[in-house]
A and B are shown apart, each in its own frame.
Chain A
Amino acid sequence: MGDAPKSKDRLFLEIESHRGYMVRFATAKLRDAEQAEEVVQEALLAALDAVGGFAGQSTLRTWLTSILKFKIVDFQRRVISERAHIAQAPDDDSADTEWLDRQFDQTGHWKMQFSEWANPDDALQQQQFFAIFESCMDKLPKTASRVFFKREVMGIETEEICKEEEISSSNCWVILHRARVSLRECLERNWFQGAK
Chain B
Amino acid sequence: MENAVPEVIDLSCKEAARLMSQRHDRTLTPGETESLKQHLYVCLNCTRFDRQLDFLRRLAQKYAAGGGVEDHPI
Interface residues of A (CB under 8 A from B): 6, 11, 14, 17-18, 21, 51, 54, 56, 59-62, 65, 103-104, 107-110, 113-117, 120, 123-124, 127, 129-131, 133-134, 148, 151-155, 158, 169, 172-173, 176-177, 180-181, 183-184, 187-188
Contacts and interface: CB of A to CB of B under 8 A. Distances in A.
Given A114-B45, A114-B48, A127-B70, A120 B25 contact: no
Interface string B1-36: 000000000001111011001101110000000000
B55 A59 contact: no
Interface residues of B, number: 37
Contacts of A152: 24, 56-57, 60-61
Contact of B74 (A11, A62, A151): A11
Given A6-B74, A17-B69, A155-B61, 16 more contacts: A21-B63, A21-B66, A21-B69, A56-B74, A104-B12, A107-B12, A109-B13, A120-B52, A130-B63, A133-B59, A151-B24, A169-B26, A176-B21, A180-B53, A181-B17, A184-B52
Secondary structure type dominating chain A contacts: helix
A6 B74 CA distance: 7
Interface of chain B, helix or strand or loop or mixed?
helix
Contact of A110 (B18, B22, B45, B60): B45
A41 B49 CA distance: 39
A62 B74 CA distance: 14
Contacts of A188: 52
A133 B25 contact: no
Contact of B25 (A17, A113, A117, A176): A176
Contact of B62 (A124, A134, A184): A124
